Chains A and B, each alone.
Chain A
């Protein structure tokens, strides 16, 4: 997507100075109530339609998931998990997968191209494709394994949270299309309140571990889930329990970087200082005489 809002950029990839941020907007969130989802894939269809993308016609391997994974075209995917509980009953769990729009986005942290990934003050993390250089660092940075690189143009793609729609006061296409209102959209505050009511309802119905998935390890997310089994998010197609930016990515992109640069600069400076204080290491006439003599000896 392209940058639709230029005055309220909270983070701008590969940039060490403050981004244009005079305008501040309220934080938004998409709430996915897994307990209300019927797995109809209307959200997937709406996503392709709004973004004007087409998925390849795939093959059936005897599984509901279609396509088999997120792709450069399919920015959202219904993942189906059949979970057999301890008491023997079967839970059919359906989770709409896609970008979580982390408050501390690992993709943005890893990105080396200025402005290829931006985060608006409303919390949406957006890929600005014309600035993308196709290195795939965002894939390494993401704790949720979301971005996909296109085989066609080698740019990275993922859910934009319909930043173009949100910018003009519309809800994301998936939320609009959902027939059971399992996907709702609004301010993060409102969505949190709405989730609380849903969780209370679920608890009343016997799901005592129902809860909100808004992982604090990534500063919270702007896509949240209401889970019936919030104590075990991993049973929902490996939703990470405590996602955070990998320590490897933090080491790679964090404080060691300026230190390494300074170290390189310092090495060069020490060399220069050594030269101007000690002077060059020169060969004198005596050395040359000795050299000639040694070479002469070899002649004999």
Chain B
């Protein structure tokens, strides 16, 4: 595919489609889940055709999410291995938030924050999936004991809150760091963006001839 001069390819069309499918399902899961999480949010069941429909659809969307997230995991896992530079980057989180990039170590394809989002999402979605199965009364109501269901309910709610928090951070980072969103909408970023935020990655890509 042709790319404007001075841009670098970051996400393939397949990766973008996978990401957005995952995003849509995750948002629908959050909305239907929040509806049952707190009485003040029960009105959200209206988006799904009422309380009963929200209850029916939520677990099936969870099953769908496991497949879309597995796709993302397989695609991005190898770029999210933790390194020493990540710890240094994280120790200078104040510089990160103040956009003093000159004080930060050179970053590869992903920075420590992005890696944390990746791993928290992985652990969180796995916890939500497994606890969700235990809570799924219509499919597994007879399989698990009441006590197991109670534990699952606590795990499910906790993991959901963590994941929603992580999601807000993920979303905010994309909005705050200008030039990021196009990576997931057009697949490319500008050379300047890559130079500023992922310099090590830019050098590697340039060496490979990705431009």
Residues in A lying within 8 Å of B, measured CB to CB: 14-16, 112-114, 131, 133-137, 139-140, 142, 145, 149, 154, 246, 248-249, 251-252, 257-258, 260-261, 263-264, 267-268, 271, 274-275, 278, 280-285, 287-292, 294-295, 297-299
Q: Is the CB of A248 within 8 A of B150?
A: yes
- Measured in the bound complex, the distance between the Cα atoms of B146 and A142 in whole Å is 9
Taking a contact as CB atoms under 8 Å apart, the answer to whether A287 and B168 are in contact is no
Q: What chain A residues lie within 8 Å of B135 (beta carbons)?
A: 136
Q: Considering the complex of A and B, which 9 residue pairs feature the smallest CB-CB distances, nearest first?
A: A291-B191, A298-B206, A136-B137, A288-B192, A133-B51, A271-B172, A287-B192, A291-B195, A248-B150
Segment 145-190 of B: residues with Cβ below 8 Å from A: 146-147, 149-151, 153-154, 157, 161, 164-165, 168-169, 172, 175-179, 190
Say whether B75 faces chain A, with CB atoms less than 8 Å apart.
Answer: no
Q: Are B191 and A271 in contact (CB under 8 A)?
A: no
How many residue pairs at the A-B interface have CB separations less than 8 Å?
162
Residues of B within 8 A of A (CB): 6, 8, 35-40, 42, 45, 50-52, 54-55, 97-99, 135, 137-138, 141, 146-147, 149-151, 153-154, 157, 161, 164-165, 168-169, 172, 175-179, 190-196, 199, 202-203, 205-211
28 contacts across the A-B interface (CB closer than 8 A): A14-B42, A112-B36, A112-B39, A113-B42, A113-B51, A114-B39, A133-B45, A134-B137, A134-B138, A136-B137, A137-B153, A139-B137, A149-B138, A248-B147, A249-B150, A249-B153, A261-B37, A271-B176, A274-B172, A280-B176, A281-B99, A283-B178, A283-B192, A284-B192, A285-B192, A287-B195, A294-B195, A295-B8
Q: Is the interface of A mostly helix, strand, loop or mixed?
A: helix
